[in-house]
Amino acid sequence: GNSVTQMEGPVTLSEEAFLTINCTYTATGYPSLFWYVQYPGEGLQLLLKATKADDKGSNKGFEATYRKETTSFHLEKGSVQVSDSAVYFCALSDSGAGSYQLTFGKGTKLSVIP
Amino acid sequence: EAGVTQFPSHSVIEKGQTVTLRCDPISGHDNLYWYRRVMGKEIKFLLHFVKESKQDESGMPNNRFLAERTGGTYSTLKVQPAELEDSGVYFCASSQEGPSPLHFGNGTRLTVT
């Protein structure tokens, strides 16, 4: 079956530090890959996505590249801000299953301190 | 447009009681999903509606959980009787026809004591 493994948190960084959250996946087909973010008190929001190998998703300064050879989709940001404090979830969907069902990782809590 | 809304935002009930969670999807979204996050674990898929029909309910944990979507609009998820391990955050999501991005609600935090 499909699975997603992402680095355990929590992660605490100072403002303007570089962020990497590792994510690797196992899937039977050719999945689409996503990063979702949950800010305090809010629901999950799609941060970025990539639908095929070598695609790069980007949004709000965050980037992630779909690496089929290493089955990875690591999230990066060059300079984090306090407002980036949230829980980040890596996810995949195997749309070949006939639905847009998502398989999530456990989530990584990021705290950015001034 | 209004987003996906879920009621209540929090619910605390005793073991053995019944709780009903509600989800109002974005208007016009045929697809509706329920997910659950038990503390410290992954967000897990529960089931998927297309309009009023259950497309996939392979993630429903057991027969204490009943989901409905009468008329293909809002959906309810009933837990009866609730057990301690049902505690967690229940998310609802909706999407347009086809493989479209999911829009999630804020979730309902359920605590069973």
Residue A4, min C-alpha distance to chain B (Å): 9
Could you tell me the CA-to-CA distances from B12 to B41, B84, B89, B109 in Å, in that order?
Answer: 20, 11, 12, 8
Q: Is the pLDDT of residue A99 over 80?
A: no
Across the interface, whether the CB atoms of A98 and B56 are under 8 A apart is answered yes
CA distance B32 to B30: 7
Label residue A41 by pLDDT band (50, 70, 90).
Answer: confident
- What was the pLDDT predicted at A94? 79
Give the residue from A51, A61, A47 showing the smallest Cα distance to A90.
A47
Average pLDDT of the residues in A88-111: 84
Residue B30, min C-alpha distance to chain A (Å): 12
Residues of chain B in contact with residue A4, where contact means CB-CB under 8 angstroms, are: 42
- What was the pLDDT predicted at A1? 83
% of residues, chain B, pLDDT over 90: 83
- What was the pLDDT predicted at B97? 78
Residue A92, min C-alpha distance to chain B (Å): 12
- What was the pLDDT predicted at B96? 87
pLDDT digits (tens, 9 = 90+) for B64-79: 999 999 888 999 999 9
Average pLDDT of the residues in B51-71: 93
Decide if B55 touches A, using CB distance below 8 A: yes
Average pLDDT of the residues in A8-16: 94
% of residues, chain A, pLDDT over 70: 95
Decide if B49 touches A, using CB distance below 8 A: no
Q: Is the pLDDT of residue B99 over 80?
A: no
- What was the pLDDT predicted at B82? 97
Question: Which residues neighbour B10 within 8 Å (Cβ) at sequence distance 6 or greater?
Answer: B108, B109, B111
% of residues, chain B, pLDDT over 70: 97
- What was the pLDDT predicted at A96? 55
Q: Which of A45-54, A74-83, A85-94, B93-102 has the lowest mean pLDDT?
A: B93-102
* Residue among A99, A104, A108, A109 with most chain B CBs within 10 A, to mutate: A99
Across the interface, whether the CB atoms of A101 and B3 are under 8 A apart is answered no
Across the interface, whether the CB atoms of A43 and B106 are under 8 A apart is answered yes
Torsion over CA: B4, A22, A79, A40 (sign): positive
- What was the pLDDT predicted at A14? 97
Could you tell me the CA-to-CA distances from A27 to A49, A106, B3 in Å, in that order?
Answer: 16, 17, 31
Q: Is the pLDDT of residue B39 over 90?
A: no
Residues of chain B in contact with residue A42, where contact means CB-CB under 8 angstroms, are: 106
Label residue B100 by pLDDT band (50, 70, 90).
Answer: confident
